[in-house]
Chain A
Amino acid sequence: MFPIIAVDISGRHRIGQGYYMVCAAVAVDVSASHIESVSQIAIKPFLTASPPGVADVVSIIETTVAEIKYPGTIIVEHGDLYNQPEWLSQKMFSREFKYQESLSERLAIEFAHHVSLSSRNLLMKELAID
């Protein structure tokens, strides 16, 4: 069993005057191919006027993960950090970080993606933003 925190950000495209983003961090225990248990989920909204750069994405992820009370390596998709090399991304984070590799890590990121997307849809609907 390996503790990981899978993270996904939804809404990195322009809507009207800004970027309405929701970041979801999911703390799970995984084996090599399955999610064995879910410990905690943290969701945070972010609004920026300009498109998020790599440093902004790192800050968004770290702020959301700070809500998680459980230990674990942060797992992110390559694309979320604009496909920059892993060694470079690792240097930008204050805690353990890596890109997804195993089936279970992909599954956890998919889980985080559904959480962030559905939370964002709900927020946009409540705020009446199209």
Chain B
Amino acid sequence: MRKAIVVQRNDPNADEAENERKLAELKELAHASDYTVVGSMVQSRYPDRKYQVGRGKVEELAELVEALEAEKVIFNNQLSTTQIYNISETCKCEVMDRFQLILEIFAARATTRRAKLQVELAKLQYELPKAKSIVSLLKKEERPGFMGLGGYEDSYEQDIKKRIVRIRTELMHSCKGSESLRTFRHERGFSLVALAGYTNAGKSTLFQLLVKEGTIVEDMLFTTLSPTTRSLTINQRKVLLTDTVGFIEDLPHWMVDAFRSTLDEIFLADMILLVVDMSDPVDVIRQKLAVSHDIFWKRTGGATIVTALNKTDLLPDEQLQEKLDAISYLAPNPVMISAVSGQGIDELKQLLYKKLPKWEHSHISIPMSEEGMSMVSWLYDEGIVHSIEYGDSIIMEIEARNEIIQKVKQFEISSE
């Protein structure tokens, strides 16, 4: 974990609660990108052209960086190239803004070729308007003249433009390749559950809790999983649980495609666990849920949605009920939980189990032979064995997905 300090400049007269929410979101994003937030700094003023915050505040920030040994300073406000240069010169460490942090997260989470291209495209679009000034700052010591600065500036910008065109062309001809991964995981007997919701809703805390409480199956498959996917079993059913970046507020338009490409995991899931922060005001919850529905519309292929109403430990019961009544029309299969205290987790797991893709029951009779014994072992791997009796033949009651049941159809004992 790398140490970082988060900084936010608030406009005077801006809503205090809104400012706090934005800073909490930035901290959550920093955490998602593997930073440990060791300090934060807030200033209320109009933007400074050179530093974004005031000059005195930047000097204070430099002292804080030194004292806390921070490697990075992350601003919640968009920074110009000059501001990044000036702040990093003063603080003697790397400086980035919110958008660069988000791009860093997207780059780390992009698994498919298409997603990687989308992220690279967003990076280039972010860099394009800054291209000239980046070169100017880098070549400050060089004098303009024959083949001087002008040439450098233009060629770098041209280079970015060419790369943007190339990626756009490639994206037009590429198709989504995650379907095969989904099929592979289904063939291994896993059902896919994806966590979705806004940053700071408590997705990662819930993810850790569910994974810790669930029995982790063999590590054999982890080579095919991203660091944010873990396998667990709920009532003997194997589930792959994926934590996602989360929905982010106020995304610039050029970042939307890259953002959506990171959501492929959600759109491929059998079930979506939508996490909602119940401590938000009702209007904010409603707005966030409506946007979530908009994101899911026509993309989830009929996946079941379960809504985990999180952070219930922060509110009294009557207030919770009031909020639930106001948002119930936007919350499919709601469950009240607290990922911190563990309250409601058992109920959530039972609901997840109930909503998993249906497995079929079957009574079968397998001949007692070497081949029959290896089939028993295979059935233990692929499904749930409810009962087994060894006699002249092996009588089993099993529960498994349809493909497995079809393969042992010939051994089925008719119920008549």
Contacts and interface: CB of A to CB of B under 8 A. Distances in A.
Interface stretch (B138-146, B289-297, B365-373): B289-297
A34 B329 CA distance: 11
A31 B297 contact: no
Contact of B305 (A30, A33, A101): A33
A103 to B, nearest CB: 5
A32 B307 CA distance: 10
A32 B328 contact: yes
Interface string B270-307: 00000000000000001001100100110000000101
* Interface size range of chain B in the complex: 10 to 19
A102 interface: yes
B54 to A, nearest CB: 38
Interface in A1-49: 2, 30-34
B376 interface: no
B293 A103 contact: yes
Contacts, number: 32
A30 B290 CA distance: 16
Interface of A is mostly: loop
A101 B293 contact: yes
Interface in A96-130: 101-103, 106
A103 B299 CA distance: 11
Contacts of B297: 103, 106
28 contacts: A2-B329, A30-B329, A31-B332, A32-B305, A32-B307, A32-B329, A32-B330, A32-B331, A32-B332, A32-B333, A33-B305, A33-B332, A34-B332, A101-B286, A101-B289, A101-B290, A101-B329, A101-B330, A102-B290, A102-B329, A102-B330, A103-B293, A103-B296, A103-B297, A103-B305, A103-B332, A106-B293, A106-B297
Interface of A: 2, 30-34, 101-103, 106
Interface of B: 286, 289-290, 293, 296-297, 305, 307, 328-333
